[in-house]
Structure 1
């Protein structure tokens, strides 16, 4: 839901920047046509006719932001959705401060969300309310990574089907994930 609000805001800013830039480039005659328009839709149509090829200077940046938001939505979906702190507390049958304490101690996975909130990948929790085996090891091994990058690795599909996150209880999968995480960052340092 928050990502949709962010997308709306990003798109509104994009349109406002385009509109301001277009108005600055228009001739007096073109501006008068806009003023004479009978409706907002007609005003926009006249504006589009007057500036058909103008692109905002930061369209590429906006496109990147939108693609990033889409990628995060896909990652969150593959992780079973993101739970709020209170939802995670309910699943674990503990308090919200208890959830935050477990996160700080590297016993849970979470990704940052707008407004200082955290999203807890649902697939790290088993149906019985326990944390999936291997989560604490992965959280500690991946602490040097951006949380979204870590989650992207964990939602990668394996040859046997399912995500790595879902299959951490398999010792071979857990070793493979820990090995991958140990290798991240070594290439940049070399």
Structure 2
């Protein structure tokens, strides 16, 4: 690679370095907000540098290096981790009710309906909003489309996780309702 690829090398090193810093932060006996912030900022800087040099393609190259570094770090940690002392529990807490207890199927189906199809719809709207924003900022159609295709599965995974962590149904609906505020962007076709 020529000297024109130097920013991509820097982005890759920032991403891999960020993974290393996060691995160090998570191995400490107590949480360290400073080390965590430094690791995530290095990864964010990798994205910014890669985007500035090569757009979505640069981000994908930097993400590949960062993901590979994370895979290697987790592999080493898994291979060198001491064996657990306590046997894992055989109990399945909260998965199914005990015999004779109500199954709450309607509640479970309602949660599924909110998290999966509604979560996907919200993620799709976020992706379309990202595309619209990209087009408005002059990213070009290809980069805006790639950004939207990146945001949809990532947004869906994050939303599903956040929604499933809510303890009350009203929190679940409020979170989904707040995220769906991107609907006007899709309905008006802003940025397309």
Alignment TM-score, normalising by the size of structure 2: 0.29
Q: When you count helix as a share of all residues, which structure comes out higher?
A: 2
Alignment TM-score, normalising by the size of structure 1: 0.30
Higher relative contact order (CA 8 A, sep 6+): 2
Structure showing greater radius of gyration is 1
